[in-house]
Structure 1
Amino acid sequence: MWKIAIIDDDRQVLAGMRRGIPWNELDAEVAGEALNGADGLDMIRRVRPDVIITDIYMPVMNGLDMISELRSQEFEGKIIILSGYSDFEYARQALRLDVSDYLSKPISVPTFKSVLAKALQDLSSEDIRRAREDEMMHKLMLYEPFVEKEWVKAALTGTLDPTYRRDELLPSPYLYWADTSHMVMGIELDRCARASSLTVADWNLFRFAVSNIVHEVVRERFASFEYTELHGMRSAVVLHADPGAAADRLAGLIGELGATLKTCVWNYLKLKLRIGFGAWKASWLDIPDSTEEAFRSLDGKGLVPSREQQWNMMRPVKFYQELASAIKTSQETRAKQLVTDYTRQLQEQSGDTPEYARMLASELWGVIAYCLYDVGMLLDDLFPNRELSREMSALGGLEQLAAWLTEKITVICRSREWGGSSKHRQAVDFMVQYIHEHYDEDITLSELADKVFISRNYLSNIFRNMTGETFNTYLTRVRMEKAKELLLERKMLVYEVADRVGYKNVPYFSTLFKKFTGMNPTELANG
C-alpha cells in the first residue's frame, strides 16, 4: 500500500483531502500530517512516505525550503505542490526541485485523483526499474570472479587488449602489480598413462584438487600471487615480490616451491607435475614474456633468446590462448588463420618431422577439447577417439597437420550442437565453484537456482548436459575427493572427516565413500 503525507497550514484543507482522496481506489493510506514545513520534515523522516502533498506558504518553514532540504537528503519520493498562489517564480523553483506537479487551489476531486494516480504509476515503474537494476548488479557480482579470472589469463598470456595495457587501467584488485616485480611459474600435468585415461569430467575434479594444493603451497611462501588455468593440462601462477627483495632469497623460495608442489600432488593425487619458471620482470606488461620463458623451460627449450626473436615468432602460450578463444566463440575463419600462421612459422623456424607434427596434434587437440568443455561441448560426441588416434598417427608433417586441424575446426564451428551454451556455461561455472567452496554446507539445487536466476528443473538439465553428472552426484564426488585428502593426512578420525565434508550420519558417509572410491574410509585412515 502506498503511503501519502499531507502538509498544509489550513486544517480544513487537510480534512478535505482526507475525505476527498479515493484511498481505496489508489491502494493508498494517510501516512501522516503536518501544519508547517519544519514539522513536515520530522514527520517525513519518521514515516518515509511515497508521496508528499504540500502547500508553499506555511509558518516556521515554507514548502519550497522543506522540499529543498528533502532533496539534499536524497528523498526519492514524489512531491506534489497544492498552493493557492499561481506564481511563475514559485513554479520555476518547484521545477528545479524536481516536483512532480504544481496544482492551484481549488482543485476538483477527479483532477486530483488523476494527478495522484500518475505519481503512483511513475513510482511503480521506477520500483520495477530499480529491481531489474538490482538483479543485474547481483548477476554481475556473481559473475565478477569469472571476469577477473579472464583478465588475469589475458594479462598472463599476452592477449590483453592493447587499450588496457596501462597502469592506470589495472583492475582495482591488481593495482599493486604496478609496484611489484613478477615471475610466472608454468605447471603441467605429466602425460602418464593414468592422466591420459582421465575423462574430461574426472579431470575437472583433479584440476580443482591441483588448484587447492597450489594455493596452499604457494601461500606459505608468497603473500601475493594469482593462479590461472590455461589450456589442456597446463596452468600457471604469477608470483609477485618487492622489487628490492634479495635475489638469493627468492631463488631459494622458488626452488623449494617447485619441489614441494611436485611432492604434494604426487602424495595426494598420485599424479606427476612438470614445473618451469620464467625470469623476474620489473613491469607487469612483461609478464607474458615470463610465461613463455616458463613453458619453454618446462619443455626443455631454455629461455626466449632475445626481445627481437620474441616478437618475430608466434609465442606458443599466446597462440594456444588465442586459438581457444576463437574456437569457443565459433570464429571459424579466425581459428583457421591462426593455425595457418602458426604452422607456417614453425616450418620456417623448426624442424618439420612426422614425429613433431603428431606430438603437436595431440597437444593442440587437448587445447581444443578443454576449451570446448568450458562452453559445454564434448568432442567425444563429434569425433570417436579411435578414429582420432588413427588420423594423428598418419600425419606426415606440419602441412598435413594444418589441413587436419582446419577440417576439424570446420566441423566443430558448424556443428548443430554448437550455439547458445556459453551463457549457460557461466551459470554452471558458478555452480561448480560454489560447490567446491561450500561442499561442507547443506547445498541444494534450488538454492543455487535462485542465485543464478534459472529455474531449478532447467538448471538441473543444463548442469547434467555440461558436466555429464547430476548435481547431487557431482556434489558427492567433490565431498568424497576432499574426504580422501583429509583421510590421507591421518590427522582426523573418520567421524570428524565425515562432519568436515557435510555428513552427520557416519554409516551413510562410509557407504558413499566406498561407492565412489572402492574402499572403506577406515582402510584409508589406518593406512
Structure 2
Amino acid sequence: MIKVVIVDDEPKLRNGLQTLIPWESLGFTVMAAATNGKEALSVIEEVNPDVVIVDIRMPIMDGLQMIQHLTAAGRHLHFIILSGYADFEYAKQAIKYGVAGYLVKPVDIREMSASLQRVREQIEKERHQAELSQTGGVNREAHLHSLLLSHENIEDPDKRINKTKEAGLLWSGYEVVVVSPRISDEEQFTALNQLSAGLKPIIEGRNKGVVTILPPYTVILLHEPIRGKQRREDLYNEIRNASGGLRFVAASGGGVSVPEEICSSYLKAREALKQAFFSEKDRLLGPNSPALLPLPESLGMTADNAERLEELIFKLYYSLDIGNQTMILPLLNEAASLFLMQGQGEKTVKESFFFLSNAVVHKLTAGTRMESKETEALSRFLNGIFQHENIHDLVENINRFLLAFAEDTEHGGKEQEFKKMIDFMNRHYADNLRLDTLAGLLNYSTAYLGQLFKNKTGEYFNTYLDKVRIQKAKEFLSQGMKVYEVAERVGYANVNYFHGKFKKYEGRSPSDYKNL
C-alpha cells in the first residue's frame, strides 16, 4: 500500500478527504493528518509517507514553505497541492518542486481519485525501475503490466521479446481474462486481493497462466487461447470457486499469438465487461457475446423513438387497466429492445425504464390518491431499478411490480362500475344498446371498453347482448307470447333476424322451443 499524509488547517476538508476518498481501493492508506506545515514535518519524519496532500494557505508554515523545506532536505515525496482560485498564481510556484497534482477547492472526489491514480502509476514505475537497478533482471509482474497496458510501445522489439522471455511470459499463444467484483469502492481492494489469492493456485499452480491485479480488475493471462464452449464454462466455474462467494462478472478478450497483442486482448475483455448488463448471466463474456434481447424486426431505426415510447407506455397502461397480464412482459421486452436499438448504455437504459415505469404508474393512479404504503412501495421499486446488474432481471422485476401494483390499486372502483354496466344491460336489453354509446357514458374509448368487456365476461359485447336477449326471449315464449311479439319485446325489429339468432344459440327455432 502507498502511504499518505494529509496536511490542511480546515478540519472539515481534512476529515472529508480521509472518509470520502476510496483510499484502499485505489491502493493507498492514510497514515496521519496534520493542521499546518510545521506539524506535518514531524509527522512525515515519523511515518515516512510516499504522498503528501497539502493545502497552500496554512498558518505557522504554509504548504509551499513545507515543500521547500522537504525538497532541500533531499526528501523524495509526491505532493498533491490544494488551493482556492485566488491562490492559483501562488500555487504555480510549487510546480518547480515537481508537484504531482494541483486541485482547486472544493475538492472533487473524482478529480482527486484520478490524481491519485496517476501518482500510484508513477510510484509503481519508480519502484519497478529501482528494483531492476538493484537486481539487474526483469520484474515479471511489472513487465506483465507493461504488456497489458502498452498500446503504443516504442521499445525495440528484440529487447521487448528478451524481457518477455526473462519474465517467463514468452508463450505460443495468449488470452486475457478480466474479473470485476460487484462490490463497493471501499471494499474493492480487499476483493481484488481475495480473487487473486483464490485464482493463483488454480491458474499458476496448474501452469495455465499468471494472475495479477490492475484495479478495478483481477487479470488472468492464459498461456493459450480458450477453445470451445465447455472450456469457457469450466474456466468460469473455476473463477466462481475461487471467488469465495463474491459477486463478479468476467470476460475474455480473444486469443492472440504474440506478446505485442496482449494489450489488444486486454482492451477487448474490458469492452466485453461493459456489456455484462445486456448479456446472459453467469457466463464468461467475450468480444462476440450475443445480446440477451435480440432486436425485433418490427423496430426500425427511422421510427420516431419518442412517439414509440409513448405508445409503449399507453399499451402497458391499457393492458394493466383491463387486466390483460400476458401482454406486460412482451411490451417490456419491446421497450428494452427499443432502448438497445437507440444505442443506450446501462445507465441510460435504467433511466429510461425509470421514466417508463413511473409514467405507467401515474396513468394507473390518475384521479386517485395513493396510500402511503403504495407510495413507499413505488419509491423503493423506482430506486431499485438502478441496483440491477442484468437487464433480464430488471425487466422481470418491473413486470412483477406493475402486475402487483395494478392489482393492489384497483380499489374496486372499476369492478363496481363494470357491475353497474352489466346490470344496465340486463334492464335495457330491448333498447338499441351500442358499445360506443356505453363507452361515451362511462368516459372510456370504444376499443378500451370492448377489450375490458371481453376480459371480464369472456364474450364480445354484441355476443353477450344477444345471449341476454335470447334468455329473456325464452322466458316470454314460455309464457305463451307469439314469436313476433317476443322478437320486438327483446329488441329485434326484424323477426327473421330474431329467428336466426335464436336458432344459433339454442339449436332450434323459437316456434319449436315454444311448442316443447
TM-score bucket (shorter structure)? under 0.3
TM-score (norm 1): 0.26
Select the structure with the greater relative contact order (CA < 8 A; seq sep ≥ 6): 1
Which has the higher Rg, Structure 1 or Structure 2? 2
